[in-house]
Amino acid sequence: MYVFRAKSRLRMTLQNGPVVSVANVSLSTLGRNSLRWDLTPDQIKCRTDKLIQRIKKIYDSIGALDLDKVSFENTLKPLADAKMEYTVSRHVLDFPQYVSPCSRARSASTEADKKLSEFDVEMSMRNDVFQRLLALQKQLNDLKPEAKRLMERLINLGRRKGLHLPKNIQEVQNSYMNGLEKTEDGLFKVTLKYPHYFPLMKRCCVPETRQKMEIAFHSRCKE
């Protein structure tokens, strides 16, 4: 619920809870990225690009860690801080498209939203970061409940994206995988029958797999 005061200060409140002024919110990870609702079109574009660069740099540094050197300090904590910064900064950038009286600002915010949505997908499919979280889960048993819950949630989200599956069938649902036969060396057998072809083409996100399946499917019954 949002409450607007005469002094143009935005205040947020939870239902049946205390009112908290946005001006008093302090996020240690944000630093210079304070909440702003008066950004110009150029500022929206610039901040969007810089936000993507900052978050990608953090993900890249985590993904480059040796699996036996992951820790709470170099993996889970920076990932949590990055997600918090990204969430707050993203709202500042995509909110003007709904409320700004300036058409150029609305357009810039809409473009920022599109670019950030594509970035969301890219970051959610970072298998290198997912593997570091799995390695961290095996090593740490003394995490605080909040940190443990975050790690489990991130791993579960990765599994839902299929990051634990072989690369050539990522994004295909477990129910589909369970119905496939396996070869002796652990590969999955996929036929050209409709129950195999259509779910794979709908869900598989690997171009090479989709290409092979499409060529084979449309080459049926050829001499």
Taking residues 55-78, what's their average pLDDT?
95
| Same-domain status, 145 and 178 | no
The reply to whether 137 falls in a domain is yes
* Cβ-contact 40, 109 below 8 angstroms: no
The reply to whether 2 falls in a domain is no
| Same-domain status, 156 and 193 | no
| Same-domain status, 177 and 120 | no
Among the three residues 142, 160, 178, which one is the final residue of a domain in this structure? Answer: 160
Report d(CA 14, CA 141) in Å as an integer.
34
Report d(CA 79, CA 147) in Å as an integer.
11
The reply to whether 7 falls in a domain is no
CA separation (Å) from 11 to 2, 37, 99?
A: 6, 13, 16
Among the three residues 127, 160, 193, which one is the final residue of a domain in this structure? Answer: 160
pLDDT confidence band for 25 (50 / 70 / 90): very low
pLDDT for 170 beyond 60: no
Over residues 120-164, the pLDDT tens digits come to 988 988 999 999 999 999 887 778 899 999 999 999 998 887 787
Mean of the per-residue pLDDT values for the chain? 80
Sign of CA dihedral 59, 65, 67, 69: negative
| Same-domain status, 63 and 141 | yes
Nearest alpha-carbon partner for 192 in 218, 158, 157, 156: 218
Q: Can you give the residue range of the structural domain that contains 103?
A: 33-160
| Same-domain status, 140 and 175 | no
| Same-domain status, 155 and 202 | no
- Which SS3 state, helix, strand or coil, does residue 21 take? strand
| Same-domain status, 151 and 195 | no
Sign of CA dihedral 30, 35, 36, 42: positive
| Same-domain status, 82 and 184 | no
| Same-domain status, 84 and 151 | yes
**HEC letters along 129-190:** HHHHHHHHHHHCCCCCHHHHHHHHHHHHHHHHCCCCCCHHHCCCCHHHHHCCEECCCCCEEC
Report d(CA 142, CA 72) in Å as an integer.
10
> So what's the pLDDT on residue 169?
58
| Same-domain status, 147 and 186 | no
Q: Give the Cβ contact number of residue 172 at 10 Å.
A: 23
- In the numeric block, the tokens 């599956």 are attached to 165
Please tell me the total count of domains within the chain: 2
| Same-domain status, 118 and 143 | yes
* Cβ-contact 21, 3 below 8 angstroms: no
